[in-house]
Homo-oligomer: A and B are copies of this chain.
Amino acid sequence: MQDIHPTVRFVIDLARIQAILNRRFDSGLGGLGLSEFIILLHLNEAGAAGMRRIDLAESVGLTASGVTRLLSPMEKIGLVKREANRDDARSSLVMIAPGGKRKLEEGMERAELLAEEIVPSEKKGEMKYVASVFSEIGRNIR
Protein backbone atom coordinates (compact mmCIF):
# COMPACT_ATOMS: atom_id res chain seq x y z
CA MET A 1 0.00 0.00 0.00
CA GLN A 2 3.09 2.21 0.13
CA ASP A 3 3.23 3.34 -3.49
CA ILE A 4 -0.01 4.25 -5.09
CA HIS A 5 -0.59 3.35 -8.70
CA PRO A 6 -0.06 6.54 -10.69
CA THR A 7 -3.39 6.32 -12.45
CA VAL A 8 -5.20 5.74 -9.17
CA ARG A 9 -3.46 8.81 -7.80
CA PHE A 10 -4.56 10.64 -10.92
CA VAL A 11 -8.18 9.72 -10.28
CA ILE A 12 -7.94 10.96 -6.71
CA ASP A 13 -6.33 14.25 -7.62
CA LEU A 14 -8.84 14.68 -10.42
CA ALA A 15 -11.75 14.15 -8.05
CA ARG A 16 -10.43 16.75 -5.65
CA ILE A 17 -9.77 19.40 -8.25
CA GLN A 18 -13.09 18.81 -9.94
CA ALA A 19 -15.00 19.08 -6.67
CA ILE A 20 -13.37 22.42 -5.96
CA LEU A 21 -13.77 23.76 -9.49
CA ASN A 22 -17.35 22.59 -9.59
CA ARG A 23 -18.19 24.63 -6.51
CA ARG A 24 -16.37 27.67 -7.82
CA PHE A 25 -17.92 27.63 -11.24
CA ASP A 26 -21.36 26.74 -9.99
CA SER A 27 -21.45 29.89 -7.95
CA GLY A 28 -19.46 32.12 -10.27
CA LEU A 29 -21.11 31.82 -13.66
CA GLY A 30 -23.91 34.31 -13.10
CA GLY A 31 -26.77 32.04 -12.21
CA LEU A 32 -25.70 29.34 -14.61
CA GLY A 33 -24.58 26.01 -13.17
CA LEU A 34 -21.38 24.51 -14.53
CA SER A 35 -23.31 21.71 -16.21
CA GLU A 36 -25.69 24.16 -17.80
CA PHE A 37 -22.81 26.22 -19.03
CA ILE A 38 -21.16 23.16 -20.55
CA ILE A 39 -24.40 22.16 -22.23
CA LEU A 40 -24.79 25.59 -23.79
CA LEU A 41 -21.22 25.44 -24.99
CA HIS A 42 -21.74 22.12 -26.74
CA LEU A 43 -25.03 23.23 -28.23
CA ASN A 44 -23.43 26.40 -29.46
CA GLU A 45 -20.73 24.38 -31.20
CA ALA A 46 -23.41 22.14 -32.73
CA GLY A 47 -25.05 25.19 -34.28
CA ALA A 48 -28.48 25.27 -35.90
CA ALA A 49 -28.53 21.53 -36.53
CA GLY A 50 -28.82 20.90 -32.81
CA MET A 51 -27.97 17.66 -31.05
CA ARG A 52 -29.77 14.57 -29.95
CA ARG A 53 -30.06 14.44 -26.19
CA ILE A 54 -28.07 11.28 -25.97
CA ASP A 55 -25.16 12.72 -27.92
CA LEU A 56 -25.28 15.72 -25.66
CA ALA A 57 -25.17 13.42 -22.64
CA GLU A 58 -22.15 11.64 -24.08
CA SER A 59 -20.25 14.83 -24.73
CA VAL A 60 -21.06 16.35 -21.37
CA GLY A 61 -20.32 13.11 -19.52
CA LEU A 62 -23.72 12.75 -17.86
CA THR A 63 -26.38 10.10 -18.24
CA ALA A 64 -29.39 10.60 -20.51
CA SER A 65 -31.49 10.98 -17.41
CA GLY A 66 -29.33 13.78 -16.06
CA VAL A 67 -29.58 15.61 -19.36
CA THR A 68 -33.37 15.34 -19.38
CA ARG A 69 -33.54 16.93 -15.96
CA LEU A 70 -31.09 19.66 -16.80
CA LEU A 71 -32.71 20.63 -20.08
CA SER A 72 -36.26 20.84 -18.86
CA PRO A 73 -35.90 24.07 -16.86
CA MET A 74 -33.50 25.46 -19.45
CA GLU A 75 -36.16 25.06 -22.08
CA LYS A 76 -38.73 26.76 -19.87
CA ILE A 77 -36.62 29.87 -19.45
CA GLY A 78 -35.69 30.02 -23.11
CA LEU A 79 -32.05 28.98 -23.06
CA VAL A 80 -32.58 26.03 -25.38
CA LYS A 81 -35.33 24.85 -27.68
CA ARG A 82 -36.34 21.43 -28.90
CA GLU A 83 -37.52 20.16 -32.22
CA ALA A 84 -38.77 16.78 -33.35
CA ASN A 85 -36.28 14.67 -35.22
CA ARG A 86 -37.95 13.81 -38.53
CA ASP A 87 -35.62 10.87 -39.09
CA ASP A 88 -36.26 9.18 -35.78
CA ALA A 89 -39.36 9.73 -33.71
CA ARG A 90 -37.69 8.36 -30.59
CA SER A 91 -35.37 11.27 -30.24
CA SER A 92 -35.80 15.00 -30.37
CA LEU A 93 -33.15 17.55 -31.19
CA VAL A 94 -32.05 20.27 -28.80
CA MET A 95 -30.53 23.50 -29.93
CA ILE A 96 -29.35 26.67 -28.30
CA ALA A 97 -31.90 29.52 -28.24
CA PRO A 98 -31.10 33.25 -28.41
CA GLY A 99 -31.49 33.56 -24.66
CA GLY A 100 -28.98 30.74 -24.28
CA LYS A 101 -26.48 32.48 -26.53
CA ARG A 102 -26.64 35.58 -24.39
CA LYS A 103 -26.25 33.61 -21.19
CA LEU A 104 -23.39 31.65 -22.67
CA GLU A 105 -21.48 34.79 -23.59
CA GLU A 106 -21.99 36.20 -20.13
CA GLY A 107 -20.93 32.91 -18.58
CA MET A 108 -17.90 32.64 -20.81
CA GLU A 109 -16.57 35.99 -19.67
CA ARG A 110 -16.83 34.95 -16.07
CA ALA A 111 -15.45 31.50 -16.80
CA GLU A 112 -12.36 33.03 -18.33
CA LEU A 113 -11.78 35.15 -15.27
CA LEU A 114 -12.18 32.12 -13.03
CA ALA A 115 -9.82 30.16 -15.27
CA GLU A 116 -7.11 32.78 -14.94
CA GLU A 117 -7.36 32.50 -11.19
CA ILE A 118 -6.69 28.80 -11.17
CA VAL A 119 -3.99 28.44 -13.77
CA PRO A 120 -1.36 31.15 -14.10
CA SER A 121 -0.76 31.99 -17.73
CA GLU A 122 2.85 30.79 -17.72
CA LYS A 123 1.47 27.28 -17.25
CA LYS A 124 -0.19 27.19 -20.66
CA GLY A 125 2.31 24.67 -22.02
CA GLU A 126 1.55 22.27 -19.23
CA MET A 127 -2.16 22.72 -19.81
CA LYS A 128 -1.73 21.78 -23.43
CA TYR A 129 -0.01 18.58 -22.46
CA VAL A 130 -2.67 17.74 -19.92
CA ALA A 131 -5.34 18.42 -22.53
CA SER A 132 -3.77 15.86 -24.84
CA VAL A 133 -3.73 13.26 -22.08
CA PHE A 134 -7.37 14.08 -21.34
CA SER A 135 -8.45 13.57 -24.89
CA GLU A 136 -6.73 10.22 -24.96
CA ILE A 137 -8.41 9.14 -21.74
CA GLY A 138 -11.66 10.51 -23.06
CA ARG A 139 -11.44 8.16 -25.99
CA ASN A 140 -10.70 5.21 -23.72
CA ILE A 141 -13.66 5.61 -21.46
CA ARG A 142 -16.91 6.56 -23.17
Check A38 against B15 for contact (C-beta < 8 Å): yes
Cα distance A18–B60 in the bound complex, in angstroms? 11
Using known A-B contacts A34-B15, A44-B1, determine if residue A117 contacts B131 with beta carbons closer than 8 Å.
no
- Interfacial residues, chain A to chain B (CB-CB below 8 A): 1, 4-25, 34-35, 38, 41, 44, 59-63, 104-105, 108, 111-112, 115-120, 123-124, 126-131, 133-138, 140-142
Contact across chains for B62 and A19 when beta carbons are under 8 A apart? yes
For the residues of A in contact with B, the DSSP-based class is helix
A134: which of B17, B38, B44, B140 is its contact (CB, 8 Å)?
A: B17
CB–CB B119/A7 < 8 A = yes
